[in-house]
Amino acid sequence: MPTDSFRIRSDISLLAVMLVAWLWIYPAGTRAAEKQVVYIVAKSDLPFLKVIGKGVKSVADANGYNYVEMDSAANLQKQLKNAQDAIARNVAGIIISPIDNKSVSEVLALASRAKIPVVIADVGALSGDYLTCVKSDHYRGAYELGLATASAMKEKGWSDSPFAMVTVALTRRNGQDMTNGFRDAMKDSGLTKEVPSHPMQDATPAESQKIVKDMLVATPTLRSVFIESDQAATGALQAIREAKKTGALFVVSFDSTPDVADLLKSESLFAVGLQQPYLIGKKSADALFASFAGTVPARQILVPVLIGTAKNITPLMVTANKTVFGID
């Protein structure tokens, strides 16, 4: 008859065998990552992308999943390495704000082979297998800004005056959508005197300041300018102040900083289109988690752009603080 010590040794041996088998079947990476959601971000120090991450994390936390953020630091090789690392850990899903809409195709191909679902937040993709792309409705937002600008120009008696746009790179879909949206609204409102647009390379304040300064010299009768970047709007406003043209033309921008209310109330800015990155992140994660339950999301999900003016910015900030700037 076996002794108690023999039984204990046998039980320990059996447990050891079971443990080895479990470790073999479920490798360390799989066990550690089975309830992880990864957000691969093009450049983590960009405020817009930071707020997208907050939106993703809110949904991951609510569902009991670990949230992991991987910074690609605007480096294509780093972006690919982040994707490989996430796949090696067998994460539940990936949300990515890619560096551009071309390079993300490599990430999508890797994830598809590993059967890991991917949601694209913001930029989009030229091709590839992904659940959905969640982004701002750039066209509609810019169109509404154009309508507001055209109406104000008509009230001032500036219907026959020229307008201009300082655009982001027009090789990007969001740049195309913003430019076309604003232009279509002005055209539909009967304003057709457009100064040739000036695409920016880096969208820095210094770059836009020079562009707008040159515009004001070349077209002294300019009555409105649409700036497609919040940082670039800072440079444009500086150029207008230096030319002593404050109040002589409407400045409209896409995106802004938390001091947007002051800029609008001082009439430095006439109107601003505010993207809602927190909602982009949240809706991206909502779509990912819905897919875990078998729900197939729409191929594209558009998030509305808030339109802020001096008249509505105070009540609008109640919403914008959270959804635009990520302030709890």
Q: Are 201 and 169 in contact (CB under 8 A)?
A: yes
Predicted local distance difference test score (pLDDT) of residue 32: 44
Amino acid identity of 152?
A: A
Neighbouring-strand partners of residue 67: 37
Average pLDDT over residues 146-172: 94
Average of per-residue pLDDT values in the chain: 89
The whole-angstrom distance between residue 201's C-alpha and the CA centroid of its chain comes to 19
Q: In what order do the strands lie in the sheet with 250-254?
A: 198-199, 163-167, 224-227, 250-254, 271-274, 306-309
The domains spanning 28-130 and 138-274 adopt the same CATH topology: yes
The residues, any chain, with a CB within 8 Å of residue 14's CB and separated by 6 or more, are none
How far is Cα 162 from Cα 193, in angstroms, rounded to an integer? 5
92-142 confidence digits (pLDDT tens) = 999 999 988 888 999 999 999 999 999 999 887 888 899 999 999 999 999
Q: Are 14 and 46 in contact (CB under 8 A)?
A: no
How far is Cα 149 from Cα 163, in angstroms, rounded to an integer? 10
181-213 confidence digits (pLDDT tens) = 999 999 999 999 999 888 898 888 999 999 999
Q: 28-130 has which fold?
A: Rossmann fold (3.40.50)
228-252 confidence digits (pLDDT tens) = 988 889 999 999 999 999 999 999 9
20-71 confidence digits (pLDDT tens) = 444 344 444 443 456 999 999 999 988 899 999 999 999 999 999 999 999 9
Q: Which residue has the higher pLDDT, 254 or 202?
A: 254
Predicted local distance difference test score (pLDDT) of residue 198: 82
Q: Are 123 and 107 in contact (CB under 8 A)?
A: no
Q: How would you classify the pairing of strands 163-167 and 271-274?
A: unpaired
CATH class of the domain defined by 138-274: alpha beta
Task: Provide the residue ranges of all domains of the chain, joining segments of one domain with +.
Answer: 28-130, 138-274
Average pLDDT over residues 297-319: 96
